[in-house]
Amino acid sequence: MSGMRVLWGEASFRQEVAGGAAGLALLVWFGATLPSITVFVLLLLVLFAVEALNSAIEAIVDHLSPEWSAFGKQAKDLGSTAVFFLLAANTLYLVVTLLPLVLRA
């Protein structure tokens, strides 16, 4: 639970939770199927896990290299890129799932 408290302290994680909740609300509002909602929730959980790993990378780099360093920048950039890819996957899935439902409504 202490890891969850640390993660909740990250603004990006709170934004991802809010975005995920909004996406979930849209899926429910437009009548998405249970399997579609389940896949979205699983993608969100993977996003949260990658965000936690990215935060861990940043904490380790900040501890080992308090001054700017090329290796530190590269490690942080790679962690952020992983989060970006999951955000893109979540967004793409949400759009592809919602579009037919919205057009039908």
pLDDT in tens, 63-103: 998 888 999 999 999 999 999 999 999 999 999 999 999 99
Residue 105 pLDDT grade (very low, low, confident, very high; cuts 50, 70, 90): confident
Which one from 10, 51, 58, 67 is the annotated catalytic residue?
51
Q: pLDDT digit string (tens) for 20-60?
A: 999 999 999 999 999 999 999 999 999 999 999 999 999 99
Q: Are 95 and 25 in contact (CB under 8 A)?
A: no
Residue in 94, 101, 95 with CA at minimum distance from that of residue 30: 101
**Cα separation of 8 and 21, whole Å?**
15
pTM greater than 0.75: yes
- Answer yes or no: 51 catalytic: yes
State the burial class of residue 82 (Cβ atoms within 10 Å of its Cβ: 0-12, 13-18, 19+).
Answer: middle
Rounded CA separation 36/94 (Å): 9
- pLDDT reported for residue 66: 86
Enter the CATH code of domain 2-104.
Answer: 1.10.287.3610
